[in-house]
């Protein structure tokens, strides 16, 4: 049949797909470990790493093990980690006062990392969900049956200054309170921390993909549910223009890096933000995205490594400069073997 029928084509795009070397030559998007941030969960004490059932391969680590992990990550080429504490239930309160103690767990972890592994950058999450009895990201106003925006921002600014004093490189407000980026920038500058950067969770959606994370930090247990309703402060998944407005506000208020969260279901938002700003753009491949790939791979329905790499590539292709992902370490290991 090929001898009888032949298309007369000037352009044959398959020519540059013919071999692996040609495909590499024309590849448009690349990912290396330097693009990735590894989220890490820290617990108090000297216990062995605690497995998180809903996040295969991810553990809660003591500060001692956290230091070892950071050294390994640096050796693999990963330049930053984001810290999330899991504190004991008896330390949680309605006013989240544990978050403002100078010796609270996450601050001790920051100091230890910056002393022992100073070459790695550390991101401190700013939100109250690990510290509140109800698992919300801020202070609850029982009269309004909603979070108290301005009172929460006051606590977040104090948290930011404490984290900067501990030596953190970036603070990352993930609460979605109005005006918090500007207030945090003002507080940092007013206390002599002009060099501490802000990576703002600028477009954080009220997603159904956060359940495993809530297991990891214990906020789902505090709230007695994986389905805690945060829709009065996190973005409606249906809203594109509102996300762009939030991004613009955080840029105006002084954010150094913007973020979209989650990543995989919001590639369109990542692309639009990339076209609207010159600031570095981060995207968070969240716990549910990580867990669903693992779950399907465990059933034999998907190839874990290929789906991992494809999902990360899609986020980069959409326009993210930085990806927070629980796959960071494993991707870096595979990258080192190439």
- Other Cβ atoms less than 10 A from the Cβ of 295: the count is 13
Interior angle at CA 192, CA 187 and CA 193, nearest 5? 70
Gap between the Cα atoms of 319 and 317, Å rounded: 5
In a domain, 102, yes or no: yes
In a domain, 25, yes or no: no
6 in catalytic set = no
In a domain, 322, yes or no: yes
Can you spell out the DSSP letters for 68-104?
HHHHHHHHTT--EEEEEE---GGG-BTT-GGGG-TT-
Can you spell out the DSSP letters for 128-165?
STTTBSS--SS-EETTTTEE-HHHHHHHHHHHHHHHHH
State which residues form the domain around 104.
Answer: 32-337
- The CA-atom distances, in angstroms, between 129 and each of 203, 205, 263, 291, 309 are 18, 16, 21, 21, 31
Q: Give the pair of three-digit tokens for residue 207.
A: 């997603």
| pTM beyond cutoff 0.85 | yes
Residue at token pair 């969900």: 129
pLDDT of residue 3: 66
CA 285 to chain centre: 7
In a domain, 97, yes or no: yes
Work out how many domains the chain is built from and give that number. 1
In a domain, 189, yes or no: yes
92 in catalytic set = no
Q: Which of 261, 329, 333, 337 is an active site residue?
A: 261
Residues contacting residue 218 through CB under 8 Å, at least 6 positions apart:
86, 87, 89, 130
In a domain, 10, yes or no: no
pLDDT of residue 95: 96
pLDDT of residue 264: 97
Mean pLDDT by 10 residues, the chain (338 residues): 81 96 95 97 94 96 98 98 96 97 98 98 97 95 94 98 98 98 98 98 97 87 61 97 98 98 98 97 98 98 98 98 98 93
Residue at token pair 């297991």: 215
In a domain, 124, yes or no: yes
pLDDT of residue 222: 45
Q: Which of 86, 92, 114, 204 is an active site residue?
A: 204
In a domain, 6, yes or no: no
Nearest C-alpha neighbor of 179 from the set 155, 199, 206, 149: 149
Gap between the Cα atoms of 97 and 104, Å rounded: 10
pLDDT of residue 125: 97
- CATH (domain of 56): 3.20.20.70
β-pair type (36-42, 322-325): parallel
pLDDT of residue 338: 75
Q: Give the pair of three-digit tokens for residue 212.
A: 């495993």
């Amino acid at each position: 049949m090929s001898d009888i029928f032949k298309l007369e084509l000037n352009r044959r795009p398959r020519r540059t797909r013919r071999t692996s070397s040609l495909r590499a030559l024309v590849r448009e998007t690349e990912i290396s470990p330097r693009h990735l941030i590894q989220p890490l969960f820290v617990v108090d004490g000297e216990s062995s790493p605690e497995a998180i059932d809903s996040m295969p391969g991810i553990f809660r680590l003591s500060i001692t093990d956290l230091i070892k992990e950071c050294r390994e990550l640096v050796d693999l080429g990963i330049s930053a980690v984001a810290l999330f504490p899991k504190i004991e239930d008896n330390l949680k309160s309605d006013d989240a006062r544990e978050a403002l103690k100078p010796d609270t767990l996450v601050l001790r972890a920051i100091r230890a990392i910056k002393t022992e592994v100073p070459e790695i950058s550390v991101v401190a999450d700013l939100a109250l969900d690990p510290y509140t009895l109800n698992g919300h990201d801020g202070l609850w106003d029982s009269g309004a049956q909603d979070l108290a925006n301005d009172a929460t921002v006051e606590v977040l600014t104090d948290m930011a200054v404490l984290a900067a004093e501990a030596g953190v490189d970036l603070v990352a407000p993930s609460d979605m309170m109005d005006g918090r980026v500007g207030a945090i920038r003002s507080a940092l500058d007013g206390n002599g921390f002009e060099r501490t950067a802000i990576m703002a969770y600028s477009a954080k959606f009220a997603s159904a993909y956060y359940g495993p994370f809530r297991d990891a930090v214990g906020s789902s247990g505090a709230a007695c549910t994986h389905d805690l309703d945060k829709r009065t402060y996190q973005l409606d998944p249906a809203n594109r223009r509102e996300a762009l407005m939030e991004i613009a506000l955080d840029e105006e208020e002084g954010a150094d890096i913007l973020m979209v969260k989650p990543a995989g279901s919001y590639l369109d938002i990542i692309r639009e933000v990339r076209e609207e700003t010159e600031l570095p753009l981060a995207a968070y491949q969240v716990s549910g995205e990580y867990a669903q790939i693992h779950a399907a791979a465990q059933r034999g329905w998907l190839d874990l490594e290929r789906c991992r790499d494809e999902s990360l590539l899609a986020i980069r292709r959409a326009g993210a400069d930085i990806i927070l992902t629980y796959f960071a370490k494993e991707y870096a290991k595979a990258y080192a073997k190439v």
